[in-house]
Every structure is written in structure tokens, then in C-alpha cells.
Amino acid sequence: MRIGYLQFTPEFGEVARNLERVALALEGADADLLVLPELFASGYQFRSREELLELAEPPDGPTAEALIRVAARGGFHLAAGFPERDGDRAYNSAMLVGPQGRVGVYRKTHLFDAETEIFEPGDSGFQVFAVGEARVGLMVCWDWIFPESARTLALQGAEVIAHTANLVLPWCQSCMPARCIENRVFAVTANRCGEERRVGDGLRFTGQSVIVSPRGETLARGPEQGEALEVVETDLALARDKKPTARNDLFGDRRPEMYRLG
């Protein structure tokens, strides 16, 4: 299975133009699954809940339509972040689309910092979907720091975690090997790069998108700044084998009765 990311810098609020730029960047990409950043077409720093609601879309809005066209043309699946509108509420969501249409939507469980002021905490629960023979789980940015997120996805059968991100803290990229080793899964963290200076001191996004194997190897790593498309060939058998030794099984050896995780 060929999995990859597009590291990308949107222009805030210029949804149509950002969608065009992504379509162009993905022309000719040879992949089965490509991951785009969190809120890749809208931008990140909304000045108010009103501004967010104006840019937010339903799961069958223009962003979904554009992504499905790109997926159909390229013959691949896309996982991508978008601001999801549901009545007068908005979620920080990720959708998975394929050549035949939308596969599913996940609403970010753990909101980061100022997001808590304008987005609703996600209520979808963690989702795993089929992409060909593979099972793909969705996770959005800050979800990564809670080990329960990737764990829940992996225990539900995810072999690949599609992680859309807008990272500003320094930790995630160096911790994704731990997420992959402890769950024996592949992960694609598609981060954005560039800056936004719309609120307060603004934000600088850290780039360095990463693809990590179930053995914790970093298979690809993007630049700190600058857009980049990377695809790697992976062997899903690695993610299906949960046995790091002949006598250990990372899932079978779990002892939930000994954990206190309430």
C-alpha cells in the first residue's frame, strides 16, 4: 500500500484557491492514501465563532466535492481536515474520501488551546474505515498526545493512522514513533507549514510531516518549511503482526483489569 502526505500552507479563507492548489499539487501522485493537513483549505486562526461558521461546511460541501474529484482523477483516497458545520455548531473534523465519494467523517475529540473557544468537542468517536484491503483510522492534531486516541483506533483494527495536523508545539513528530511502536501501526502525520498572524502573536506551524512504520522507523520526513508531497510503499503485514517476540502479543498481552484509566 502506498501512503503519503501533502504538507501544505493554505491562504486563510481562500477555500476555492486552496482547493485548486491542492488539486494541482496532487496531479499525477501515485498513491493509495494521501493525507492533507488539518483545516487544509480554510486556514486555522479564525477571529471569531462567526468567522468560523461562515467558512465551515457540511460534509458534502465544496471541500468534499473538490476532494472527491481529485480522488477520482488520481484513483486514491484522501484524508483531510475541514471545519464542519452542523447547524450553528462547528467541529474540527477530518473526512476520508475515495474515488466513489465520501467514506466517513471524524470530529476531533481533543481540542487545542483557542479551538476550545469556537469549536465543539467532537462527538463522533474514533473511526476506522476500509481503504481497499487496509483499515484506516482518523486522528486530528492534538489527539496524538492522548495515547488513548491511537490506542482506540488500533484496537478497532486500524493498520494505518491518517493524522491531519496543524502542529505548533515541538513534540508530536518525535513522539509518533512511540505511537506506532506501542500499537504496531503505520502513521502518516500531515502537518502544515508557514505562519498565520490573524490573532494575538500569530502561530508558526512546524512542518516536518512524518510517515512512521510499526517498528518506529521514520520512512519520510518533510522540511520544516515549504510544501512537500511524499509517498512511501508499505507492507501492511507489518501492522497486522502484533508479536514483537515469539511469546508476546501487544494486544493479547494487555491487562485492562489492571489499568485505572477512568
Candidate ranges 36-44, 62-70, 96-104, 112-120; the one touching a second copy (CB under 8 A):
112-120
Q: Shortest Cβ distance from residue 57 to a second copy (Å)?
A: 24
Q: Shortest Cβ distance from residue 254 to a second copy (Å)?
A: 6
Q: Does 48 bind a second copy (CB under 8 A)?
A: no
| Cβ proximity to a second copy, 110 vs 192, nearer residue | 110
Q: Does 200 bind a second copy (CB under 8 A)?
A: no
List of residues 6+ apart from 14 with CB closer than 8 A: 43
The catalytic position among 57, 115, 141, 172 is 141
| Cβ proximity to a second copy, 53 vs 145, nearer residue | 145
Check if the beta carbon of residue 124 is closer than 8 Å to that of residue 147.
no
Residue 65 is among the residues annotated as catalytic for this protein: no
| Cβ proximity to a second copy, 67 vs 158, nearer residue | 158
d(CA 17, CA 37): 16
| Cβ proximity to a second copy, 201 vs 245, nearer residue | 245
What angle, 0 to 180 degrees and rounded to 10, lies between the N-to-C axes of helices 147-155 and 172-183? Answer: 30
Candidate ranges 20-28, 54-62, 130-138, 142-150; the one touching a second copy (CB under 8 A):
142-150
Q: Which of residues 153-172 bind a second copy (CB under 8 A)?
A: 155-156, 169, 171
Residue 141 is among the residues annotated as catalytic for this protein: yes
| Cβ proximity to a second copy, 1 vs 176, nearer residue | 176
Residue 38 is among the residues annotated as catalytic for this protein: yes
Task: Please give the residue ranges that form the binding site for a second copy (CB under 8 A).
Answer: 109-114, 116-117, 121-122, 125-126, 142, 145-149, 151-152, 155-156, 169, 171, 174-175, 177-179, 181-182, 216, 244-248, 250, 253-256, 258-262
Residues with a catalytic annotation lie at 38, 108, 141
